Structure 1
Amino acid sequence: MRILGLDYGDRRIGASVSDAFGWTAQGLETIERRGDESELKRIAELVKEYDAEEIVVGLPKNMNGTVGPRGEICMEFADRLREILGLPVHLWDERLTTVSAHRTLLEADVSRKKRKQVVDQIAATLILQNFLDSKSKR
């Protein structure tokens, strides 16, 4: 069973997918948001292409654990995905995943231009991997 991971941002959505066993997450792509809901169509295509049965969306929380305006937007996006795709959509605490993604790319000496292109994808991979790791501990 594959799971799709998403890092939902203002301009881009990072996408990742699990392996068939649900052990590891791999980055897929960065989807540009154009304001015409074409991103929803692309996510539906990824679900079909990878035969994903669940989706994990990063939920940005404040450091004190509360959900702010950005988190509410992600929750609405998750509800929309549930409605359109008819799949279980989980929200996963994504605190500091983008920071970790930037740090990883800096340590790998990736150029600024290339970092901008893949940071959302790396963040989506971290979100999904954390979710997968939590499931294996249950």
Structure 2
Amino acid sequence: MTQALAAGGYPQGIKLGVDVGTVRVGVAVCDRDAILATPYKTLDRNPKKNSDVRVIASLAEELGAVQVIVGLPRTMKGEEHASARMATDYAELLVAELARRGMEVPVNLVDERLSSVTAHRNLHEAGMSSRNHRKVVDQVAAAGILQHAIDMQKARGADVGTRVGAPPEHRPSVAVPAAESTESRAEDQSRSQNTEGYSEPVL
């Protein structure tokens, strides 16, 4: 599938936002013009069968999504701990599932500091009781992650976050000459540096 690209090289069209938790996964979607991110649904995390990963891949296929933004939980100092590793692993599973379906949909990890805090605050301001937050807070957080990503793409005129590759067991085992392999790694590192540096402002 050929994707339309903006001048800065980021995909244009419907995008999904994903907020990964140990128990639940929030999903959000934006319109084709990437103006507004909307909470879509909350999925139960199933680490054994990864049925939730397949649901997201099916949604991307159904909507014709051009990109998936997965929140990367960093500390306020910008450090990555267990939750960040979990989000990275999840993003890799999603890349593998999309590839299995023959879908070339990029998955980017994007800094999500304070997204859950902001989601709880927004729900409180909307008049929802704290007891009911659990039902929707993950998808609201996903919408916040996606909204900030699409806003930053437009503001910067470039993609944001870090592009995720499939985990090693899902990559094709093709022999690559050492020189070519070194050159490819250098290009991958350069691309990663070009899209890094995204962070959600402290509120």
> Which residue of structure 2 lines up, in the alignment, with residue 20 of structure 1?
32
Deviation per residue, 1:50-85 (Å, 9 max, x gap):
111210000000110111111011111111111210
1:128 and 2:146 matched: yes
How many residues align structurally? 138
Q: What amino acid sits opposite 2:22 in the alignment? A: D
Q: What amino acid sits opposite 1:34 in the alignment? A: N
Q: Which has the higher contact order (CA 8 A, sep 6+)?
A: 1
Q: Which has the larger radius of gyration?
A: 2
Unaligned runs of 5+ in 2: 1-12, 100-104, 158-203
Offset, 1:40: 1.3
Unaligned runs of 5+ in 1: none
Find the partner of 1:60 among 58, 64, 73: 73
SS in 1 for 2:35: coil
Offset, 1:113: 3.5
> Which residue of structure 2 lines up, in the alignment, with residue 101 of structure 1?
119
Supply the distance in 2 between the matched residues of 1:79 and 1:45 (Cα, whole angstroms).
Answer: 16
Offset, 1:112: 2.8
- What is the TM-score when the length of structure 2 is the normalising length? 0.65
SS in 1 for 2:66: strand
Find the partner of 1:4 among 10, 16, 22: 16
> Which residue of structure 2 lines up, in the alignment, with residue 90 of structure 1?
108
Which shows bigger deviation, 33-42 or 20-29?
33-42
